[in-house]
Amino acid sequence: MCCSKDLIPADLSIHNVRNYLIGINKKVKLIDGTEKQYISFDNAASTPTFTFIRDSINEILEWYSGVHRGAGIKSLVATKAYDDSREIVAKFINANLEKNTVIYTKNTTEAINKVANRLNLEKDDVVICSLMDHHSNDLPWRKHSTLIHSNVNEDGTLDLNDLEEKIRRYQNKLKLVAITGASNVTGLVNPIHQIAELVHRYGSKILVDAAQLIPHRKIDIKADDDSQHIDFLVFSAHKMYAPFGTGVLIGPKSIFEEGDPDQVGGGTVDLVSETEVKWTHLPDKEEAGTPNLIGAISLACAIQMLEKIGMENVAQHEMELTEYAYNKMNELDGIEFLGPDNFSSYENKLGVLTFNVRGMYHSLVSAILCYEGGIGVRNGCFCAHPYVKKLLKVSDEEAELMKEQILSGDRSKLPGAIRASLGIYNTKEEIDDFVEVLKMIVRKEYKGTYIQDQKSGSFHPENFRINFSEYFSLM
Ligand X SMILES: Cc1ncc(COP(=O)(O)O)c(C=O)c1O
Residues 390-408 as b/e (b if ≥16 CB within 10 A, e otherwise) read bbeebeeeeeeebeebeee
Q: Which stretch binds ligand X (CB under 6 A): 193-201, 209-217, 364-372, 413-421?
A: 209-217
Contact present, 210 and 181 (Cβ < 8 Å):
yes
Residue from 209, 287, 318, 372 in contact with ligand X (CB under 6 A): 209
Q: How far is the CB of 296 from ligand X (least distance, A)?
A: 16
Residue from 47, 49, 85, 107 in contact with ligand X (CB under 6 A): 107
Residue from 4, 40, 137, 304 in contact with ligand X (CB under 6 A): 137
Find all residues with CB under 8 Å of 317, minimum gap 6, and list them: 14, 424
Element holding 354 (H helix, E strand) = strand 352-357
Q: How far is the CB of 19 from ligand X (least distance, A)?
A: 27
User: Binding string, 382-411, against ligand X, x = CB under 6 A?
Assistant: ------------------------------
In angstroms, rounded to a whole number, what is the distance separating the alpha carbons of residues 141 and 139?
5
Contact present, 102 and 95 (Cβ < 8 Å):
yes
Q: Which stretch binds ligand X (CB under 6 A): 131-139, 285-293, 300-308, 452-460?
A: 131-139
Residue from 136, 268, 356, 421 in contact with ligand X (CB under 6 A): 136
Q: Which amino acid is at 245?
A: G
CB-count burial class (<10 Å; 0-12, 13-18, 19+) for 11: exposed
In angstroms, rounded to a whole number, what is the distance separating the alpha carbons of residues 256 and 100?
10
Residue 383 falls in the annotated catalytic set: yes
**Phi, psi for 163 (deg, rounded to 5):** -60, -45
Q: Which stretch binds ligand X (CB under 6 A): 25-33, 83-91, 101-109, 425-433?
A: 101-109
Most distant CA pair in the chain, distance: 73
Residue 184 within binding range of ligand X, rule CB under 6 A: yes
Residue 180 within binding range of ligand X, rule CB under 6 A: yes
Residue 212 within binding range of ligand X, rule CB under 6 A: yes
Nearest residue (CB) to ligand X, 236 versus 379: 236
Residues 463-474 as b/e (b if ≥16 CB within 10 A, e otherwise) read ebeeeeeeeeee
Nearest residue (CB) to ligand X, 240 versus 364: 240
Nearest residue (CB) to ligand X, 100 versus 184: 184
Residue from 4, 40, 101, 108 in contact with ligand X (CB under 6 A): 108
Contact present, 292 and 104 (Cβ < 8 Å):
yes
Nearest residue (CB) to ligand X, 132 versus 148: 132
| Catalytic (active-site) positions | 383
Binding residues for ligand X (CB under 6 A): 107-109, 134, 136-137, 180, 184, 209, 211-212, 236
